Chains A and B, each alone.
Chain A
Amino acid sequence: MTTPLLQINALSKAFFGISAVKSVTLAVHPGEILGLIGQNGAGKSTLMNLIGGVVPADSGEMLLKGKPYTPRTPADANKNGIAFIHQELNLFTNLSIAENIFIDAFPRTRWGMIDRVTIKNKTRDLLQAVGLEIAPETQIERISPGERQLVEIARALYQDAELIIFDEPTTSLTARETERLFAIMRQLKEQGKAIIYISHILNDILKLSDSLAVMRDGQLMAHEPTAAFDVNRMIALMVGRSIEQLYPPRSTPPSTELVLDIHGVSAAGIVENIHLQLHKGEVLGLFGLMGSGRTELARMIFGLDPFEVGDIRVEGVALNNLSPQSSIRNRIAFVTENRREEGLLMNIDIANNIGLVALPEFARTPLLVIDRRELLDNAQHMANTLQLKSGNIALQNAKALSGGNQQKVVIAKWLLSRPAIFIMDEPTRGIDVGAKYEIYAIINQLAAEGSGVLIISSELDELIGICDRILVMSRGEIYGQFGRNEFNEERILRAAFRETAAIPTGEKLPTLDEMAEGSAS
């Protein structure tokens, strides 16, 4: 076997006495893709931060091509040929692609001016290498998240990176962009680069990686060739117990009583003539590709966006003048797809986050003084019910929680207002397997208690696992309905893709297999 590019020996790191990485020994070779999985908080990020020079190790050593490697800053890591492609991209959106790639050191002309010609030509070569056919002077804000990812890779190539670390790179990518990213990664591997790939999407890892490392509670649970794993084993190692099923069984049948009745809702260019009926105790899935209008529809129902015609009835009563406030009065809850921007007050404590929606209920007239005791008790009760893993909820900020626990806080704040209708947009995006299962169980429980739940997801497996019925949206219209006994992945996907014209001409149509894989991401 060749010398590993990076060899980690018994590396440990603790924060304030709590160990985040415990004596991890791991190696990655040139031309190898190493998949790294683990639940949130398992120590993946800390391990990567140790490699990237963001934090120093407490003990243990790292060898880069056999030589001791002790990065003190991220710039050190860069200089040593280690590049990071983050989940949240680190590009300057107001600058051009070329400027972003050369931001660290602009080449100069002999007059000391920035050498624009060299920059442009080099950038063009680099973009070609990652398969991106866009002009180098295009501004970042004008390209898609997937293309931005490729720009980051181009920058890594420019820096001559030999080890490229991808941290959840596909979260914001479309299926086709994901495929393209994977193709580039395989190509990088052919060129002898080493890659560490971190993801929650187990199927992607199985498909892509050569070897696989599983972390739990800061420790390395397994590191073996990928062939030795299947999804069940991966989950068992990550969670520490075996999950019999990915989805809790739906046990309570939906009632026939309508709770939400949407009749002919249209908004030009966004959704068209939507008819949708949600029953008490029903879990209804809404499947569609990005841009199919599913999120927009949810926002209209909740009163965040306007629509032109049609009416919405809750328990038989027609709603007018929709706004979030009136929706809350009508006992509609909306769990947004964007936790960070619309779901949580990151810098405010958990208790106040949970109390936000139902705040007036804790107020005593005439001055609307908050009964702080009652607010805290109720928030704590919710936290206990949902098994929130946190510190003191009155002191800890929402920001300090893991993704899954943040999502529980968002759900908790709606639960306090006792909604009859729950609209959840991508409720499990970016959270780990164990937390997903818990969220599904909560959804089940909501339905069992008589709420109607509308779930939007781009993960078809998930909808098939938890829903009573699935509606398919395509180009702003409802284009198919499937009862639980007629769930069929292929048929649902066909319905979602019925409009082949929606795919820009000149691009290859994805095959059904690719679609299926893409939709899982």
Chain B
Amino acid sequence: MAIVQDKLSPDSAFALTNKAKRSDRFSGGIGMLRRLLVSDYFVLYLTLLFFLVASIFYPTLSNPASITNQIQNFWPLLAVAIGQTFVLIIGGIDLSVIAVMGITSVAGALVMAENLDPAFFDKSPVWGSLMTEAGGVLAGNPLAVPAAVLTMLLIGTFIGWLNGVAITRFNLAPFMVTLVTSTFFAALALWLTQSRNISGIPEAYVTLGKGDIVSIYLGAKLTPDIARRDILPFITYPFMIAAGLAVVAQFLLSRTVFGRRMFSIGTNRKAAEVSGVPTQSVIIRVYMFCGFCAAMASVLYSGRLEIGQPSFPNNLLLDIIGAAVIGGTSLFGGKGSIRGTFFGVAFFVLLLNILNAMRLSPFIIDAVKGAFILVAALLDIIRTRVANQEQRV
């Protein structure tokens, strides 16, 4: 037995040193990969890489028209995803954002629409009161557009307040509460409009949804009717609005007492309560902010489409939550950033455009979207693990 051991030990010692050497050799490359994984900009790098690779196979993606389109899709999604990120950070979820966008879009149109077709709307319960042939309540009034926007934001914030109060005062699950408000307000929007889009939106409002402030003209600028595809809108109203919202949100989250309290609630609500965090009021305000953001997104969407739209596609909710998750926000709460959501939305919008460019069927597109969210969630687990390992050193 002793002989066997004598024989074995130099061998095994050799094996060990050999292994150690090998891991040394790889540590440079692995170290860089680890650092990249943990980086806050990981999703951005991924998006850029994705864009470059896809542009090779689908050159149309880098056309001005295509880029314009991608950017136009980006801002409203960003606005609503910011609110959702807040809710996810405190460990909640808001399923009602799509319904909020629908009901506020309708409410805005009811205030400012400049004409309404009786053939479409005379069955509506508010025909003759809020709706007339002359349009909405303030049709033609110079203050109609600001009043409409204000109404939309107030309604969005109010629905958020309802969600927050139901969740905190009655201790109901956020999933359930927001599912109920979602169902209710989606139905209300459809009932008010009898499922029809409201057109006749004033020009000033449309500007909010897609107006340019600074553009780059790629064609001859003097031609009276230059093709849309030759314009690269650089600074637009939706950009100002959504980016402004993002800056405010990032500031709230990272610099204020409110933001710290949000993270404490998301990490451990009980501990936050014991430490004197007014958890109920913070939670209510977060849901109000989420409703506000959804209403803001509604302004951007309905302005761009030039209609009051009672219903938005339901899989938009997947895009919103998916973008936040891809950006590193945890569905378990306590983790997330506006920067991450910004990159997540960019990634998602790009992904959608590529899938569209590939002319895949909508079913396949949804399936691929789902797969990407799953991959993002798994990747996040790996990133967290790597980050935790770095912590231990």
**Choice from A324, A346, A372, A413 contacting B268 with Cβ under 8 Å:** A346
**Other-chain contact of B256, A341, A348, A355, A367 (Cβ < 8 Å):** A367
- Interface: B261 (CB within 8 A): yes
What number of A residues sit within 8 Å (CB to CB) of B? Answer: 40
A16 engages B335 (CB within 8 Å): no
**Interface SS of chain B: helix, strand, loop or mixed?**
helix
* Nearest A residue to B261, CB-CB: A359
Q: Which residues of A contact B16 (CB under 8 A)?
A: 58-59
For residue B267, CB closer than 8 A to chain A, the reply is yes
User: Looking across the interface, which residue of chain A has its beta carbon closest to that of B268?
Assistant: A345
Q: How far is the CA of A336 from the CA of B274 in the complex (A)?
A: 8
Q: Does A15 reach chain B (CB closer than 8 Å)?
A: yes
Partner-binding segment picked from B73-81, B275-283, B319-327 = B275-283
Given contacts A58-B16, A356-B260, A356-B264, contact A342 B270 (CB under 8 A): yes
Contact B257 A345 (CB under 8 A): no
Q: Mark A349-368, 1 if CB is under 8 A from B, else 0.
A: 00010011101100100011
Given A328-B276, A357-B276, A396-B391, residue A368 in contact with residue B258 (CB < 8 A): yes
Alpha-carbon separation in the docked complex, A379 to B272 (Å): 18
Q: How far is the CA of A372 from the CA of B256 in the complex (A)?
A: 10
* C-alpha gap A376/B167 in the complex (Å): 34
User: Which residue from B261, B278, B335 sits with its C-beta under 8 Å from A347?
Assistant: B335
In the complex, which residue of chain A has the Cβ closest to the Cβ of B19? A58
Residues of B within 8 A of A356 (CB): 260, 264, 272, 275, 277
Residue of A17, A341, A370 near B257 (CB, 8 A) is: A370
In the complex, whether B392 has a CB less than 8 A from a CB of chain A is yes
Say yes or no for A400: interface residue by CB 8 A criterion.
yes
Does A343 make an interface contact (CB < 8 A)? yes
- How distant is the Cα of A413 from the Cα of B256 in the complex, in angstroms? 18
**Would you call A3 an interface residue if the criterion is a C-beta within 8 Å of the partner chain's C-beta atoms?**
no
CB of A455 to closest CB in B, whole Å: 17
Residue B305 at the chain A interface, CB threshold 8 Å: no
Q: Chain B residues with Cβ under 8 A from A395's Cβ?
A: 391
Least CB distance from B249 to A in Å reads 13
Q: Is the CB of A369 closer than 8 A to any CB of chain B?
A: yes
Contact A341 B261 (CB under 8 A): no
Among residues of A, the one whose C-beta sits closest to the C-beta of B270 is A342
Q: Give the residue of B256, B272, B334, B335 whose beta carbon is less than 8 angstroms from that of A363.
A: B256
Q: Closest residue to B265 on the A side, CB-wise? A: A345
| Chain B residues with CB below 8 A from A342, complex form | 268, 270-271, 274
Q: Do B391 and A400 touch across chains, with their CB atoms under 8 A apart?
A: yes
Does B203 sit within 8 A of A, measured CB to CB? no
B90–chain A nearest beta-carbon distance, Å: 13
- The answer to the question of B255 belonging to the interface, with a C-beta cut-off of 8 Å to chain A, is yes
**Contact among A17, A345, A359, A367 with B267 in the assembled complex (CB-CB below 8 Å):** A345
Do A368 and B271 touch (CB < 8 A)? no
From residue 289 to 317 of chain A, which have CB atoms closer than 8 A to chain B?
302, 304
A16–B393 touching, CB < 8 Å: yes
A458 at the interface (CB under 8 A from B): no
- Residues of A within 8 Å of B348, CB to CB, are none
| Cβ contact within 8 Å between A368 and B256 | yes
- Measured CA separation A255–B16 after assembly (Å): 65
Residues of chain A within 8 A (CB-CB) of B272 are 345, 356
Kindly state the separation between the CA atoms of A396 and B388 in the bound complex, as whole angstroms.
Answer: 9
**A344 on the B face (CB < 8 A):** yes
Min CB gap B91→A, angstroms: 12
Closest to B16 in A: A59
Indicate which residue in A15, A370, A400 contacts B260 across the interface (CB closer than 8 Å): A370
Nearest-CB residue, chain B, relative to A328: B276
Contact with B along A1-29 (1 / 0, CB 8 A): 00000000000000111100000000000
Bound CA–CA A59/B263 (angstroms): 42
A197: Cβ under 8 A from any B Cβ: no
- Is the pair A345, B264 in contact by a Cβ cutoff of 8 Å? yes
Min CB gap A31→B, angstroms: 25
Q: Say whether, besides A356-B264, A370-B260, A15 and B271 are in contact (CB < 8 Å).
A: no
Known: A16-B393, A360-B257, A363-B256. A347 touches B267 (CB 8 A): yes
A363 near B257 with CB under 8 A, answer yes
Whether the pair A369, B263 counts as a contact (CB closer than 8 A) is: no
Q: Kindly name the residue among A17, A328, A363, A368 whose own CB sees the greatest number of chain B CB atoms within 10 A.
A: A368
CB distance from B329 to the nearest CB of A (A): 14
Given contacts A342-B271, A359-B261, A397-B391, 6 further A-B contacts (CB under 8 A): A324-B274, A327-B276, A347-B335, A356-B260, A359-B260, A369-B256
Q: B: which residues have CB within 8 A of A?
A: 16, 255-258, 260-261, 263-264, 267-268, 270-278, 334-335, 388-389, 391-393
Offer 26 A-B interface pairs, CB within 8 angstroms, sorted by A.
A15-B392, A15-B393, A16-B393, A17-B393, A58-B16, A59-B16, A304-B274, A325-B278, A336-B274, A342-B274, A347-B267, A347-B335, A348-B263, A352-B263, A352-B264, A356-B272, A357-B276, A359-B257, A363-B256, A363-B257, A367-B256, A368-B256, A397-B388, A400-B388, A400-B392, A413-B275
Residues of A within 8 A of B (CB): 15-18, 58-59, 302, 304, 324-325, 327-328, 334, 336, 341-348, 352, 355-357, 359-360, 363, 367-370, 372, 391, 395-397, 400, 413
6 smallest beta-carbon distances between A and B, as pairs:
A328-B276, A345-B267, A368-B257, A16-B393, A356-B275, A324-B276
